[in-house]
Amino acid sequence: MVHPGGFLEVITGPMFAGKTTELIKRIERQTFAKRKAALFKPSIDNRYSEDDVVAHNGLRYEAFVVPTNEEGVELIERITLDEGFEVIGVDEVQFFPQGIVETLNRLADEGIYVIASGLNLDFKGDPFPVTRDLLVRADNIVYLTAVCTVCGKPATRSQRLIDGKPAPRDSPIILVGSSESYEARCREHHVVP
Ligand SMILES: Nc1ncnc2c1ncn2[C@@H]1O[C@H](COP(=O)(O)OP(=O)(O)O)[C@@H](O)[C@H]1O
Ligand SMILES: Cc1cn([C@H]2C[C@H](O)[C@@H](COP(=O)(O)O)O2)c(=O)[nH]c1=O
Ligand SMILES: [Zn+2]
């Protein structure tokens, strides 16, 4: 897409749907169009790298790493404005505090093309509030699905597995992980005991 000016775009769906791949692709395309672009990631996402945003398929892109607190949200805003970035991407946006919704919306109001990528639903199938609140403010939504590991149909849910068994409902919401702890599942094969 040509740089659309102030714009809030949200890429969402379950784990393994290609959200990070799509985010990197969009940021990279903006740099080919000579736009000043940057990617941000939360410091708690250290699955594949401390410094880069890395997709499950190995695609990677250098990022600013910020903490998942209000200070991290302020850093995203300060770096964006001080460095004059025209386009920013934020990966794993569901990990940030609620204040990121207002901040990203404001940056879009100020003329920045903001792309936020994150999970819509947690392992129980309940909304992540930050993603939900960004989605209702978005100028464009990119909704992706993965492939259900049980039946091969489109997967809209993230199944958390502990020792190979579905995680109980009272598990903590945040558990950073990849295929050792999660599988993409369709509604029918998503299990929450
Ligand atoms: N069940 C699955 N369905 C689709 N892709 C999968 C699945 N399991 C692993 N993958 C891999 O995940 C990649 C997408 O990774 P990524 O962009 O990091 O997704 P997301 O950010 O949505 O978790 C795919 O290109 C594919 O190689
Ligand atoms: C469903 C669910 C996921 N997480 C964590 C697991 C991963 O670290 C990220 C999602 O990564 P992806 O790029 O979308 O594959 O979120 C979590 O903490 N809680 C959950 O309920
Ligand atoms: Zn299925």
Q: Are 121 and 16 in contact (CB under 8 A)?
A: no
93 is in an annotated binding site: yes
Tokens, residue 163: 């020792």
Classify residue 41: in a domain, yes or no. yes
Q: State ipTM.
A: 0.99
pLDDT more than 90, % of the chain: 96
**For residue 152, is it within any domain?**
no
The pLDDT assigned to 5 comes to 79
Q: 58 C-alpha vs ligand 1 centroid, how far in Å?
A: 10
Q: Of the residues 12, 15, 20, 23, which should be mutated to test ligand 2's pocket, given the most ligand atoms within 8 Å of the CB?
A: 15
- Give the CATH number, domain containing residue 107: 3.40.50.300
Q: What is the pTM of this model?
A: 0.98
Phi-psi map region of 164: left, alpha, beta (phi>0 left; psi -120 to 50 alpha): left
Give residue 3's pLDDT.
65
Task: Give the model confidence (pLDDT) of 97-119 as tens digits.
Answer: 999 999 999 999 999 999 999 99
Instruction: Let me know if 110 is a catalytic residue.
Output: no
Q: Evaluate whether residue 165 is within a structural domain.
A: no
104 contacts 114 by C-beta, under 8 angstroms: yes
For ligand 3, a single-atom ion, the residues with CB < 5 A are 148, 150-151, 153, 186, 189
Q: How many domains does the chain have?
A: 1
Q: Is residue 192 part of a domain?
A: no
- Measuring CA to CA, which residue among 114, 71, 63, 113 is closest to residue 96? 71
2 located within any domain: no
Locate the ligand 1 atom nearest the alpha carbon of residue 24 and give its number: 17
pLDDT digits (tens, 9 = 90+) for 72-104: 999 999 999 999 999 999 999 999 999 999 999
Give the range of the structural domain holding residue 88, as residue numbers without chain letter. Answer: 7-145
> Does residue 173 lie within any of the structural domains?
no
